[in-house]
């Protein structure tokens, strides 16, 4: 395999970056000024409402399992959340190329339909209705917007915020008898509406539009791209299990119901740190090296999850797991960008990779839910998740060593 073309969108430095690779046109990367900060604001609002909101699924599942969907197993309920994750990432195969061609205007229709999906979820009664509103429509709209925000700005650590605020707000509103489930979800919908209006007004593309084929199938002849995609697939296959089940796990271990509802917000809050710090580390050591370290520690924590039993242990696990696993999400885009031959292809390459990764997001948590239901224990689910993330880390290490065996060289 050849040395990859470096398109490191995670690096920081001067106010502009010039890409002067032989055979390619010069592309500048503006990183300052009012317009640039407006793009940051727009990307923040989208990531807050998409990835951040979907990270709230654990709060929804914890509520559904004791209320309107109590007749369904954990595995069955996990399918709704996993469909969201699948379409969040899988939507990139359409959203990435559309953004490369038409710019930020592609978020308008998904934004409107996403608010509609949240409002529809507030009046759902049956399992299939939640699947249609939250799983399919909500997930698809999130996928189209999420990939546009990813392509428009490099500050991917911003998107953990919604995963902190939404679970706390929902759990507190669910407990309010005057609001109930319906109005609790509608209030969240109105918040999302306000933020997406801001996003539609401020988000702008930062590169010239790309012409040519909608997809780039030749990417799958690039062993670096294929290897990176496989590694990310296995990481995502195992990584989301605590995000879906940490509140149920805490209750299972005897934690009080009120305290248990804070475990997901704690995990998501810690992931803010986990998505910010690795960006600075990747500037020095490279995204592949940083991703390997983060994935290795994440897999060790998943194996350690088996032994956690006390309230203090669950809280500490949530903090450390959020911090380490958050880096996997934030480093996906820089790793794909680093092996993309043209800056204008980043959205398309990222979309194709995330579509494959989305299959892992679709199947990973239901598999773990089935293991939990089958054995009435979290041991098997934790072992499966840890093994998947560890395998992904090994693949990333092999790729990194193939690029350059000198560990001091940032890759």
The answer to whether residues 162 and 48 touch, using CB atoms and an 8 Å cutoff, is yes
The tens place of each residue's pLDDT in the chain, 411 residues long, gives 444 444 433 333 333 444 433 334 444 444 556 777 787 788 888 888 888 888 888 889 888 988 899 999 888 998 999 999 899 888 877 776 777 677 778 889 999 999 999 999 999 999 999 999 999 999 999 988 887 776 665 444 344 445 556 776 777 787 777 788 899 999 999 999 999 999 888 876 655 565 666 678 888 999 999 999 999 999 999 999 999 899 899 999 999 988 998 998 899 888 877 777 777 788 888 899 999 999 999 999 999 999 999 999 999 999 999 988 888 988 888 898 888 887 777 777 887 888 899 899 899 999 999 999 899 999 999 999 999 999 999 999 999 998 877 767 777
Specify the length of the chain in residues: 411
Predicted confidence at residue 130, as pLDDT, reads 96
Whole-Å CA distances, 83 to 1, 45, 143, 374, 408: 35, 22, 11, 22, 40
In our burial notation (b when 16+ CB lie closer than 10 A, e otherwise), range 102-123 reads ebbebbeebbeebbbbbbbbbe
Is 29-209+217-403 a CATH 1.10.150.20 domain?
Answer: no
Structural domain spans, the chain: 29-209+217-403
The kind and range of the H/E element at 163 are helix 161-174
Predicted confidence at residue 382, as pLDDT, reads 96
Helix axis angle, 241-252 relative to 263-285, nearest 10°?
Answer: 140
d(CA 132, CA 141): 12
Predicted confidence at residue 59, as pLDDT, reads 85
| List of residues 6+ apart from 123 with CB closer than 8 A | 182
The answer to whether residues 216 and 344 touch, using CB atoms and an 8 Å cutoff, is no
Query: How many C-beta atoms surround the C-beta of residue 222 within 10 A?
Result: 19
Predicted confidence at residue 398, as pLDDT, reads 94
Tens of pLDDT along 237-272?
999 999 989 989 999 999 998 899 899 889 988 887
- In 3-state terms, what secondary structure has residue 407? coil
Predicted confidence at residue 123, as pLDDT, reads 95
**pTM beyond 0.95, yes or no:** no
């Amino acid at each position: 395999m050849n040395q990859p073309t470096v398109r490191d969108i995670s690096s920081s430095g001067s106010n502009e970056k010039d890409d002067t690779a032989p055979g390619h046109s010069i592309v500048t990367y503006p990183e300052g000024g009012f317009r640039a900060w407006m793009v940051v604001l727009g990307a923040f609002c989208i990531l807050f409402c998409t990835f951040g909101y979907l990270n709230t699924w654990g709060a929804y599942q914890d509520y559904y399992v004791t209320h309107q969907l109590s007749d369904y197993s954990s595995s069955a309920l996990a399918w709704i959340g996993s469909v969201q994750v699948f379409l969040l990432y899988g939507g990139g195969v359409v959203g990435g190329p559309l953004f490369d061609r038409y710019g930020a205007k592609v978020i308008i229709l998904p934004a409107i339909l996403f608010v509609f999906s949240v409002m529809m979820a507030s009046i759902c009664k049956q399992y299939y209705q939640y699947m249609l509103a939250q799983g399919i429509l909500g997930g698809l709209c999130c996928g189209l917007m999420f990939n546009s925000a990813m392509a428009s700005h490099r500050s991917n650590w911003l998107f953990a915020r919604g995963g902190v605020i939404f679970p706390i707000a929902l759990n507190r509103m669910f407990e309010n008898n005057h609001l109930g489930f319906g109005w609790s979800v509608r209030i969240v919908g109105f918040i999302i509406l306000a933020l997406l209006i801001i996003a539609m007004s401020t988000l702008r593309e930062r590169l010239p539009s790309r012409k040519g084929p909608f997809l780039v199938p030749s990417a799958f002849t690039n062993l670096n791209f294929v290897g990176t995609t496989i590694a990310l697939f296995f990481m995502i296959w195992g990584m989301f299990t605590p995000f879906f089940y940490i509140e149920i796990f805490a209750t299972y271990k005897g934690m009080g119901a009120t305290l248990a509802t804070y475990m997901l917000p704690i995990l998501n809050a810690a992931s803010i740190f986990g998505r910010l710090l690795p960006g600075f580390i990747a500037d020095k050591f490279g995204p592949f090296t940083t991703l390997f370290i983060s994935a290795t520690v994440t897999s060790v924590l998943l194996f350690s999850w088996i032994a956690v039993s006390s309230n203090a242990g669950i809280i500490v696990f949530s903090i450390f797991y959020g911090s380490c696993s958050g880096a996997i999400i934030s480093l996906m885009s820089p790793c794909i960008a680093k092996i993309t031959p043209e800056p204008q292809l980043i959205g398309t390459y990222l979309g194709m990779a995330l579509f494959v990764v989305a299959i892992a997001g679709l199947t990973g948590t239901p598999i773990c839910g089935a293991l939990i239901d089958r054995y009435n224990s979290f041991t098997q689910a934790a072992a499966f998740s840890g093994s998947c993330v560890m395998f992904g880390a090994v693949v990333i290490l092999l790729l990194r060593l193939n690029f350059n065996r000198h560990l001091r060289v940032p890759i």
